[in-house]
Amino acid sequence: MSYSEDEIRQIVRRVVLRTLRNAPGAALSGYERPHRAVVTAEDVSQSEPGTAIQVPAEALVTPLARQVAMERRIALTSNASDTLNVQPNSGPARVVAIGCDHGGFEMKENLKAFLIELGYHPLDCGTHSEESVDYPDFAFAVARQVADGSAFRGIVIDGAGIGSCMAANKVPGVRAAMCYDQATAVNSRDHNNANVLTLGAGLLGNNLARQIIKAWLETDFGGGRHERRVNQIMEIERRYLKGR
Protein backbone atom coordinates (compact mmCIF):
# COMPACT_ATOMS: atom_id res chain seq x y z
CA MET A 1 0.00 0.00 0.00
CA SER A 2 1.39 3.41 -0.94
CA TYR A 3 0.77 6.62 1.00
CA SER A 4 0.68 10.25 -0.08
CA GLU A 5 3.06 12.76 1.50
CA ASP A 6 0.22 14.22 3.59
CA GLU A 7 -0.74 10.77 4.87
CA ILE A 8 2.86 9.98 5.78
CA ARG A 9 3.19 13.32 7.59
CA GLN A 10 0.06 12.62 9.63
CA ILE A 11 1.34 9.13 10.55
CA VAL A 12 4.67 10.58 11.70
CA ARG A 13 2.94 13.22 13.78
CA ARG A 14 0.73 10.64 15.46
CA VAL A 15 3.78 8.53 16.32
CA VAL A 16 5.61 11.57 17.74
CA LEU A 17 2.64 12.58 19.86
CA ARG A 18 2.13 9.04 21.13
CA THR A 19 5.80 8.83 22.07
CA LEU A 20 5.63 12.14 23.91
CA ARG A 21 2.48 11.14 25.76
CA ASN A 22 4.22 7.99 27.00
CA ALA A 23 7.41 9.77 28.02
CA PRO A 24 8.19 10.20 31.75
CA GLY A 25 6.64 13.42 33.06
CA ALA A 26 4.54 13.88 29.95
CA ALA A 27 1.37 14.42 31.97
CA LEU A 28 3.00 17.39 33.69
CA SER A 29 4.15 19.04 30.48
CA GLY A 30 0.91 18.90 28.53
CA TYR A 31 2.04 16.35 25.97
CA GLU A 32 -1.05 14.29 26.64
CA ARG A 33 -3.14 16.55 24.42
CA PRO A 34 -4.04 14.26 21.47
CA HIS A 35 -4.40 17.01 18.87
CA ARG A 36 -1.35 19.13 19.65
CA ALA A 37 0.13 20.57 16.46
CA VAL A 38 3.70 19.68 15.52
CA VAL A 39 5.85 22.08 13.50
CA THR A 40 8.65 20.29 11.62
CA ALA A 41 11.70 21.49 9.71
CA GLU A 42 9.86 20.66 6.48
CA ASP A 43 7.01 22.96 7.48
CA VAL A 44 9.43 25.82 8.15
CA SER A 45 11.46 25.27 4.97
CA GLN A 46 8.35 25.92 2.87
CA SER A 47 8.30 29.57 3.99
CA GLU A 48 10.33 32.31 2.34
CA PRO A 49 13.51 33.47 4.15
CA GLY A 50 13.03 36.56 6.27
CA THR A 51 9.31 36.01 6.81
CA ALA A 52 7.33 35.04 9.92
CA ILE A 53 5.26 31.95 10.70
CA GLN A 54 2.37 32.09 13.15
CA VAL A 55 2.46 29.00 15.35
CA PRO A 56 -0.35 27.89 17.71
CA ALA A 57 0.57 28.67 21.31
CA GLU A 58 0.42 24.98 22.31
CA ALA A 59 2.27 23.69 19.24
CA LEU A 60 5.34 21.48 19.54
CA VAL A 61 8.20 23.00 17.50
CA THR A 62 10.89 20.40 16.85
CA PRO A 63 14.53 21.40 17.58
CA LEU A 64 15.42 20.92 13.91
CA ALA A 65 12.52 23.20 12.92
CA ARG A 66 13.88 25.92 15.22
CA GLN A 67 17.33 25.60 13.70
CA VAL A 68 16.00 25.80 10.13
CA ALA A 69 13.99 28.87 11.13
CA MET A 70 17.09 30.53 12.55
CA GLU A 71 19.16 29.74 9.47
CA ARG A 72 16.47 31.04 7.11
CA ARG A 73 15.89 34.06 9.39
CA ILE A 74 12.24 33.09 9.84
CA ALA A 75 10.47 34.29 12.99
CA LEU A 76 8.21 31.79 14.74
CA THR A 77 5.44 33.63 16.59
CA SER A 78 2.54 32.41 18.68
CA ASN A 79 -1.06 33.50 18.26
CA ALA A 80 -0.36 36.07 20.92
CA SER A 81 2.54 37.41 18.81
CA ASP A 82 5.13 36.17 21.27
CA THR A 83 8.42 35.40 19.56
CA LEU A 84 9.38 31.74 19.80
CA ASN A 85 12.81 32.06 18.27
CA VAL A 86 15.36 34.61 17.09
CA GLN A 87 13.83 37.38 15.00
CA PRO A 88 15.00 37.71 11.38
CA ASN A 89 18.34 39.51 10.88
CA SER A 90 19.09 39.67 14.62
CA GLY A 91 21.17 37.91 17.23
CA PRO A 92 23.37 34.96 16.22
CA ALA A 93 21.51 34.37 12.94
CA ARG A 94 24.13 36.44 11.06
CA VAL A 95 27.13 35.39 13.18
CA VAL A 96 29.59 32.90 11.72
CA ALA A 97 32.29 31.58 14.08
CA ILE A 98 35.58 31.12 12.24
CA GLY A 99 38.86 29.64 13.43
CA CYS A 100 42.06 28.05 12.16
CA ASP A 101 45.46 26.70 13.02
CA HIS A 102 48.71 28.27 11.79
CA GLY A 103 48.32 26.61 8.38
CA GLY A 104 44.94 28.24 7.84
CA PHE A 105 45.70 31.69 9.24
CA GLU A 106 46.17 33.49 5.92
CA MET A 107 43.00 31.95 4.48
CA LYS A 108 41.01 32.74 7.62
CA GLU A 109 41.91 36.43 7.35
CA ASN A 110 40.88 36.44 3.70
CA LEU A 111 37.58 34.70 4.44
CA LYS A 112 36.71 37.01 7.33
CA ALA A 113 36.65 39.93 4.90
CA PHE A 114 34.56 37.86 2.48
CA LEU A 115 32.00 37.01 5.18
CA ILE A 116 31.58 40.72 5.87
CA GLU A 117 31.03 41.31 2.15
CA LEU A 118 28.25 38.70 2.25
CA GLY A 119 26.59 40.48 5.17
CA TYR A 120 27.68 38.14 7.97
CA HIS A 121 29.47 38.93 11.22
CA PRO A 122 32.62 36.79 11.63
CA LEU A 123 33.39 35.72 15.19
CA ASP A 124 37.15 35.14 15.20
CA CYS A 125 38.09 32.21 17.45
CA GLY A 126 41.80 32.35 16.55
CA THR A 127 44.55 31.61 15.94
CA HIS A 128 45.91 35.11 15.39
CA SER A 129 49.31 34.46 13.82
CA GLU A 130 51.26 31.88 11.85
CA GLU A 131 52.97 30.59 14.99
CA SER A 132 52.51 26.81 15.32
CA VAL A 133 49.43 25.75 17.29
CA ASP A 134 47.25 22.64 17.65
CA TYR A 135 44.18 22.55 15.40
CA PRO A 136 41.89 20.64 17.85
CA ASP A 137 41.87 23.65 20.18
CA PHE A 138 40.48 25.94 17.51
CA ALA A 139 38.10 23.39 16.03
CA PHE A 140 36.63 23.04 19.51
CA ALA A 141 36.46 26.81 19.99
CA VAL A 142 34.40 27.21 16.81
CA ALA A 143 32.21 24.15 17.41
CA ARG A 144 31.41 25.31 20.94
CA GLN A 145 30.13 28.66 19.65
CA VAL A 146 27.75 26.84 17.31
CA ALA A 147 26.63 24.28 19.91
CA ASP A 148 26.01 27.03 22.48
CA GLY A 149 23.97 29.09 20.02
CA SER A 150 26.38 32.04 19.92
CA ALA A 151 26.81 31.51 16.17
CA PHE A 152 24.48 29.90 13.67
CA ARG A 153 27.31 28.36 11.62
CA GLY A 154 31.02 27.74 12.02
CA ILE A 155 34.05 27.48 9.73
CA VAL A 156 37.38 25.87 10.65
CA ILE A 157 40.50 25.89 8.50
CA ASP A 158 43.61 23.75 8.88
CA GLY A 159 46.06 22.17 6.44
CA ALA A 160 43.75 19.45 5.09
CA GLY A 161 40.44 20.06 6.89
CA ILE A 162 40.22 16.46 8.08
CA GLY A 163 41.51 16.68 11.65
CA SER A 164 39.44 19.76 12.43
CA CYS A 165 36.35 18.00 11.12
CA MET A 166 36.99 15.06 13.47
CA ALA A 167 37.55 17.37 16.44
CA ALA A 168 34.48 19.53 15.78
CA ASN A 169 32.23 16.49 15.48
CA LYS A 170 33.09 15.48 19.05
CA VAL A 171 31.07 18.46 20.32
CA PRO A 172 27.42 17.47 20.93
CA GLY A 173 25.03 19.15 18.54
CA VAL A 174 27.65 19.76 15.85
CA ARG A 175 27.49 18.28 12.36
CA ALA A 176 30.78 19.20 10.74
CA ALA A 177 31.53 18.51 7.09
CA MET A 178 34.82 18.79 5.23
CA CYS A 179 34.08 20.20 1.78
CA TYR A 180 36.42 20.60 -1.16
CA ASP A 181 34.14 22.02 -3.87
CA GLN A 182 30.73 23.65 -4.32
CA ALA A 183 28.97 20.32 -4.87
CA THR A 184 30.07 18.88 -1.52
CA ALA A 185 29.20 22.18 0.18
CA VAL A 186 25.66 22.11 -1.21
CA ASN A 187 25.21 18.43 -0.40
CA SER A 188 26.39 18.85 3.20
CA ARG A 189 23.73 21.49 3.76
CA ASP A 190 20.86 20.12 1.65
CA HIS A 191 21.16 16.51 2.84
CA ASN A 192 23.00 16.67 6.18
CA ASN A 193 22.17 20.11 7.62
CA ALA A 194 25.86 20.63 8.41
CA ASN A 195 26.40 23.52 10.81
CA VAL A 196 30.22 23.54 10.76
CA LEU A 197 32.34 23.62 7.60
CA THR A 198 36.00 22.59 7.57
CA LEU A 199 38.43 23.53 4.83
CA GLY A 200 41.97 22.48 3.94
CA ALA A 201 44.10 25.53 3.22
CA GLY A 202 46.79 23.32 1.75
CA LEU A 203 44.30 21.92 -0.78
CA LEU A 204 42.27 24.98 -1.73
CA GLY A 205 42.98 28.45 -3.03
CA ASN A 206 41.25 31.50 -1.61
CA ASN A 207 38.94 31.88 -4.61
CA LEU A 208 37.67 28.31 -4.42
CA ALA A 209 37.29 28.61 -0.65
CA ARG A 210 35.12 31.67 -1.18
CA GLN A 211 32.94 29.83 -3.66
CA ILE A 212 32.54 26.93 -1.25
CA ILE A 213 31.59 29.20 1.65
CA LYS A 214 29.08 31.17 -0.40
CA ALA A 215 27.38 27.98 -1.61
CA TRP A 216 27.42 26.52 1.90
CA LEU A 217 25.92 29.57 3.57
CA GLU A 218 23.25 30.06 0.92
CA THR A 219 22.03 26.45 0.75
CA ASP A 220 19.07 25.59 2.96
CA PHE A 221 18.45 22.23 4.57
CA GLY A 222 16.22 20.14 2.30
CA GLY A 223 14.13 18.59 5.09
CA GLY A 224 11.77 15.79 4.06
CA ARG A 225 13.45 12.39 4.04
CA HIS A 226 16.74 14.06 4.98
CA GLU A 227 15.29 15.26 8.28
CA ARG A 228 14.64 11.67 9.32
CA ARG A 229 18.22 10.71 8.54
CA VAL A 230 19.74 13.70 10.31
CA ASN A 231 17.62 12.82 13.34
CA GLN A 232 19.06 9.31 13.18
CA ILE A 233 22.58 10.76 13.22
CA MET A 234 21.77 12.85 16.27
CA GLU A 235 20.16 9.86 17.98
CA ILE A 236 23.50 8.02 17.78
CA GLU A 237 25.05 10.93 19.63
CA ARG A 238 22.31 10.90 22.27
CA ARG A 239 22.86 7.17 22.89
CA TYR A 240 26.49 7.72 23.76
CA LEU A 241 25.72 10.77 25.90
CA LYS A 242 23.42 8.47 27.88
CA GLY A 243 26.30 6.02 28.37
CA ARG A 244 25.14 3.40 25.87
Whether the Cβ atoms of residue 71 and residue 152 lie closer than 8 Å to each other: yes
Contacts of 120 (CB under 8 A, 6+ apart): 94, 95, 96, 217
**pLDDT value at 140 more than 80:** yes
Residue 18 and residue 175: Cα distance in Å, rounded?
28
pLDDT confidence of residue 86: 40
| Domain presence at residue 225 | no
Regarding whether 191 and 120 lie in a shared domain, the answer is: yes
**pLDDT value at 235 more than 50:** yes
Residue-range definition of the domain harbouring residue 42: 5-88
Residue 100 and residue 103: Cα distance in Å, rounded?
7
Whether the Cβ atoms of residue 99 and residue 125 lie closer than 8 Å to each other: yes
Q: Are strands 153-158 and 52-54 parallel, antiparallel or unpaired?
A: unpaired
Catalytic-labelled residue, pool 102, 121, 128, 191: 191
Least-confidence region, from 20-24, 73-77, 134-138: 20-24
Whether the Cβ atoms of residue 196 and residue 179 lie closer than 8 Å to each other: no
**pLDDT value at 80 more than 60:** no
Mean pLDDT over each residue of the chain, to the nearest integer: 82
Regarding whether 145 and 211 lie in a shared domain, the answer is: yes
Q: Across the strands, what pairs with 96?
A: 122, 153
Overall number of domains in the chain: 2
Regarding whether 183 and 80 lie in a shared domain, the answer is: no
Residue 121 among the catalytic residues: no
| Domain presence at residue 230 | no
Regarding whether 147 and 41 lie in a shared domain, the answer is: no
Query: Percent of the chain at pLDDT above 70?
Result: 73
H/E stretch holding 199 reads strand 196-200
pLDDT confidence of residue 65: 74
Closest by CA position to 153, among listed 241, 226, 219, 206: 219
Regarding whether 61 and 10 lie in a shared domain, the answer is: yes
| Domain presence at residue 43 | yes
pLDDT confidence of residue 29: 40
Q: Are strands 95-100 and 121-124 parallel, antiparallel or unpaired?
A: parallel
Residue 187 and residue 203: Cα distance in Å, rounded?
19
Query: Percent of the chain at pLDDT above 90?
Result: 56
Contacts of 62 (CB under 8 A, 6+ apart): 38, 39, 40, 41
